[in-house]
């Protein structure tokens, strides 16, 4: 099975692109969705997080907003949270890959390069749009302020650098253009697999 990492900065169209890969028959794993499962009531992260950060637990699940407040006030919190969550996310991904039956598994990981995750991939695809369109898309969601958006962007590797390191670049300016590029990536990978 070919492991294709899918990454890109916030608001670049990664989730939409991941859906296109799924529609083309690829198995798709979403890192953010895995974290949501782990944080939900009964999720594997709830008990260890309760032990480390009791204030982050609300109604039997991990509250992301409470975690954000903890991280903002405690500089040691983020590495401690990551030490709990990252191994659980890796287990979730391994279980997904063990069950996947497609010839191509797409692993949707926003911070793929930032965490060194590209080393476990056969190739990486990066989604991109111009910075102004990215800002417009994110702010149009109404879920964050410009200040929050800028703070997230400063934590992420610049989009141009991600694209320079990727094997495939998918421009998500329109749905049709993005879909055509997704299909081209799949064709290229399947051609490589047939000659392997």
pLDDT (tens digit per residue) in 109-167: 988 998 899 999 999 999 999 888 888 888 888 888 888 888 877 777 888 899 999 99
- Alpha carbon 108 to chain centroid distance? 4
Q: What percent of the chain has pLDDT over 70?
A: 100
What is the structure's pLDDT at 160? 87
Residue listed under structure tokens 């990727």: 166
Q: Phi, psi (5° rounding) for residue 30?
A: -115, 115
Domains of the chain: 1-26+103-196 (3.40.50.300), 32-101 (no CATH)
What's this model's pTM, rounded to 2 decimal places? 0.87
Q: Where are the alpha helices (DSSP H) in 11-63?
A: 14-23, 31-39, 46-52
- What are the DSSP calls for 38-77, one per residue? HHSTT-TTHHHHHHH-GGGEETTEE-HHHHHHHHHH-TTH
Burial class (CB in 10 A: 0-12, 13-18, 19+), 33: middle
């Amino acid at each position: 099975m070919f492991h294709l990492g899918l990454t890109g900065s916030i608001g670049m169209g990664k989730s939409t692109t991941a859906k296109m890969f799924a529609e083309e028959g690829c198995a798709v794993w979403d890192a953010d969705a895995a974290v949501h499962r782990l944080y939900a009531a009964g999720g594997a992260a709830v008990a260890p997080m309760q032990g480390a950060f009791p204030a982050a637990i609300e109604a039997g699940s991990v509250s992301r907003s409470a975690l954000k407040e903890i991280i903002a006030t405690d500089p040691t919190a983020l590495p401690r949270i990551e030490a709990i969550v990252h191994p659980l996310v890796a287990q979730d991904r391994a279980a997904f890959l063990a069950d996947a039956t497609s010839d191509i598994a797409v692993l949707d990981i926003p911070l793929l390069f930032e965490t060194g995750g590209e080393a476990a991939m056969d190739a990486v695809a990066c989604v991109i749009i111009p910075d102004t369109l990215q800002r417009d898309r994110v702010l149009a969601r109404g879920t964050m302020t410009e200040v929050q958006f800028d703070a997230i962007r400063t934590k992420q590797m610049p989009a141009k650098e991600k694209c320079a390191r990727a094997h495939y670049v998918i421009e998500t300016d329109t749905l049709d253009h993005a879909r055509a590029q997704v299909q081209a990536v799949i064709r290229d990978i399947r051609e490589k697999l047939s000659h392997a």
